[in-house]
Amino acid sequence: MKAVFYSTYGDPGVLEYGDQPEPKVGPDTVLIEVKAASVNPVDWKVMAGYLDGAITAHFPVIPGWDVSGVVVQPGPAVPEFSAGDEVMGYVRMDTVGQGTFAERVAAPVRTLSRKPANLSWAEAATVPLTGLTALQTLDALDVSSGDTVLIHNGAGGVGTFAIQIARGRGARVIATASERNHDFLRELGAEPVSYGEGVADRVREIAPDGVSAVVDFVGGDDWQASLDNLTRQGRVASIADAGVKEHGGRYVFVRPVAADLATLADLIEAGTVKPVLAETYPLERAAEAFAANMEGHTRGKIAITVG
């Protein structure tokens, strides 16, 4: 099968396009004909070797954890899916090696859910990692109606999902972004503020009574500065800075949970949430997609189309 892979850690220049062995279908896995995948910052961070101390790499590594596609063959212990089913998944395993940037992938059943019927393959592939991250972070803070939520990096892949999910729950949402993305945030239902020095003052101007939750999707100084905006019972969570625990907050590392993916599919089919697809690249141009994502200015997500 055709795939994108790398045989050593490095930058996007180490990526190759060519033939790789067919994946094996284990008892608890599902063989998927990949229609699309998507690029996440963790993909190029793993490729650079930044996570080598935590995740074992079996070279050559096929990158990619997000997928949408069609079930070819369910494993013998998988009654949940049948051949021909359309699925999406956050195919994170305990090691890296057999990823989703390929024509086929064998995905653990625990990582999969049905594909929303109202999404294209490319749109569906952008949902799993970022959508789950947003959902699980908001769940960790029990965000609900009546909350005022401050989301840092609202225009990014995770932020766009978090804004829509929080608004769907009835929360007021304030989100940081560069000024060029402020109209975009308004379209998603958020009140925009510019990030950087003075962010706490800017938030205070539009929310003088404070915010009940701070959600950090970028790291840096802004989330710490905005702790001053929290009400007495306010909550804080970060996916980028484990130091949040020192402030009584939650550090969230996304997990592949099939039930959570199904929740996202329901929200999407109900029209509450819509993924933001920035652009698409064919599989053989994955290196360009990685480079674009590494620039850090993508609005929404970049998808990789297969076939």
Contacts of 23 (CB under 8 A, 6+ apart): 31, 98, 102, 104, 105, 106
Q: Which domains does the chain have, with CATH numbers?
A: 2-127+275-305 (3.90.180.10), 131-251 (3.40.50.720)
CB 164 within 8 A of CB 272: yes
Q: Token pair 């225009």 is at which residue?
A: 155
44 pLDDT higher than 90: yes
pLDDT band at 47 (very low <50, low <70, confident <90, very high): very high
Percentage of the chain exceeding pLDDT 90: 98
Q: Token pair 């609900």 is at which residue?
A: 144
Contacts of 224 (CB under 8 A, 6+ apart): 247
Helix (H, G, I), strand (E, B) or coil at 153: coil
Alpha-carbon distance 47 to 32, whole Å? 23
Contacts of 292 (CB under 8 A, 6+ apart): 39, 279, 281, 298, 302
Pair type for strands 148-152 and 172-177:
parallel
- pLDDT digits 0-9 by tens, 242-257: 999 999 999 999 999 9
Question: % helix / strand / coil in the chain, to the nearest 5?
Answer: 30, 30, 35
CB 12 within 8 A of CB 44: yes
- pLDDT digits 0-9 by tens, 80-102: 999 999 999 999 999 999 999 99
- pLDDT digits 0-9 by tens, 110-162: 999 999 999 999 999 999 999 999 999 999 999 999 999 999 999 999 999 99
- pLDDT digits 0-9 by tens, 173-198: 999 999 999 999 999 999 999 999 99
Q: Output phi, psi for 271, to 5 deg.
A: 85, 5
297 pLDDT higher than 90: no
Alpha-carbon distance 216 to 223, whole Å? 6
